[in-house]
């Protein structure tokens, strides 16, 4: 019995240290997180000084006072020149992170610069910022540049191949899988906590919560939401489906074959939030980005195989080499 357990442990160790999994999902998540970060910078670019500048709408003392312990690059100087330098540097870093150039270093820098921007004016946050900040910390350990990146393209040209037997590669692989698992647990926690809070609410219990949510003027889409909340049966069904899905999400992931179904439902849920609650666009995009990491490479390969029937030639999801 003990020998079998040791053999299983060594098999798992070899599997997760000798080969890196979820590389396609990691790359797709990186691209989306980079695009979301770039969106933060470009969305209100013309009003950047008013929203984030040293003389902006959020008073300077709010981020430099003794009661504020959140670090931000913007708090280092009240100079307008410094603000413009940090702001534009952050936008360039977000773009390079999205493109996968010097991916590991850009991940660290993107985390620092985006966190600094978010702390400069917390009034502009919508919840997706917390998920992004946590995920970017874990992405420091994830090999997200092995697919769809400038780094991967450069390694293909140079014909650089990883030394899968080296200790450096094996340690990097274990850190990669630990980071992937941490992000997945983050998504599961968000869904489970949200679902458990919902089941305690009277309006979620009687199936009317979605009706009131769609009537919130701050987030709603005038002229569109009424197509949903005017249909009582649809509102009740969607209200209960949301709660059941959020509570069941983590358990669906336990069976590998159900992961594409769980991810698809999650993507559809947040697409609905993005459409009918337009004020939560970046939150929805962030959750979709994180969910793309959940599916394994084999799931994406099957999707490509199925798409081959529609588009003919199969795309190449294999990298030239992994990051070190």
CB 95 within 8 A of CB 314: no
Q: Which of 92, 129, 168 is nearest to 324 (CA)?
A: 168
In-domain check, residue 2: no
Range of the domain at 141: 21-309
In-domain check, residue 183: yes
In-domain check, residue 32: yes
In-domain check, residue 187: yes
Distance CA 222, CA 215 (A): 9
Q: For the chain, how far is it from start to end, CA to CA, in angstroms?
A: 37
How many structural domains are present in the chain? 1
In-domain check, residue 9: no
CB 209 within 8 A of CB 203: yes
In-domain check, residue 321: no
Task: Please give the torsion angle defined by the CA atoms of residues 206, 210, 211 and 213, in that order, rounded to the nearest 10 degrees.
Answer: 130
Query: Which residues have C-beta within 8 Å of that of residue 18, sequence separation ≥ 6?
Result: 164, 165, 170, 173
Distance CA 286, CA 284 (A): 5
In-domain check, residue 324: no
Distance CA 143, CA 174 (A): 11
In-domain check, residue 297: yes
From first to last of its 324 residues, the chain has per-residue pLDDT tens of 666 666 666 677 777 888 899 999 999 999 999 999 999 999 999 999 999 999 999 988 888 877 776 788 999 999 999 999 999 999 999 999 999 999 999 999 999 999 999 999 988 887 788 899 999 999 999 999 999 999 999 999 988 787 777 888 999 999 999 999 999 999 999 999 999 999 999 999 999 999 998 888 777 777 778 888 889 999 999 999 999 999 999 999 999 999 999 999 999 999 999 888 877 889 999 999 999 999 999 999 998 888 887 776 555 565 545 544
CB 239 within 8 A of CB 204: yes
Tokens of 76: 């280092």
Question: pTM for this one?
Answer: 0.90
Look at residue 324 in the predicted model and tell me its pLDDT: 46
Helix (H, G, I), strand (E, B) or coil at 280: helix
């Amino acid at each position: 019995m003990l020998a079998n357990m040791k053999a299983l442990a060594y098999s798992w160790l070899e599997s997760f240290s000798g080969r890196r999994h979820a590389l396609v999902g990691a790359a797709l998540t990186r691209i989306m997180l980079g695009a979301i970060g770039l969106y933060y910078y470009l969305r209100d670019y013309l009003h950047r000084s008013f929203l984030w500048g040293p003389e902006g709408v959020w008073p300077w003392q709010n981020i430099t006072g003794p009661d504020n312990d959140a670090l931000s690059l913007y708090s280092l100087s009240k100079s307008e020149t410094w603000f413009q330098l940090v702001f534009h540097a952050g936008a360039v870093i977000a773009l390079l992170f999205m493109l996968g150039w010097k991916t590991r270093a850009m991940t660290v820098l993107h985390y620092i610069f985006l966190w600094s921007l978010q702390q400069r004016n917390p009034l502009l946050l919508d919840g997706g910022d917390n998920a992004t900040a946590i995920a970017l910390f874990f992405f420091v350990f994830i090999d997200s540049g092995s697919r769809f990146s400038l780094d991967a393209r450069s390694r293909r040209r140079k014909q650089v191949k990883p030394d899968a037997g080296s200790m450096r590669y094996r340690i990097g692989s274990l850190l990669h899988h630990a980071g992937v698992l941490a992000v997945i647990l983050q998504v599961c926690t968000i869904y489970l906590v949200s679902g458990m809070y919902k089941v305690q609410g009277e309006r979620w219990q009687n199936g009317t919560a979605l009706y009131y949510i769609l009537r919130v003027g701050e987030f709603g889409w005038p002229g569109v939401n009424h197509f949903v909340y005017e249909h009582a049966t649809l509102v009740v069904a969607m209200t209960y489906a949301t709660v059941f899905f959020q509570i069941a999400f983590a358990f669906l992931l336990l069976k590998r074959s159900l992961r594409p179904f769980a991810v698809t439902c999650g993507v559809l849920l947040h697409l609905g939030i993005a459409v009918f609650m337009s004020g939560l666009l970046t939150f929805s995009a962030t959750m979709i980005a994180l969910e793309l990491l959940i599916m394994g490479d084999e799931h994406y390969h099957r999707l490509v195989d199925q798409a081959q029937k529609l588009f003919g030639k199969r795309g190449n999801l294999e990298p030239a080499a992994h990051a070190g």
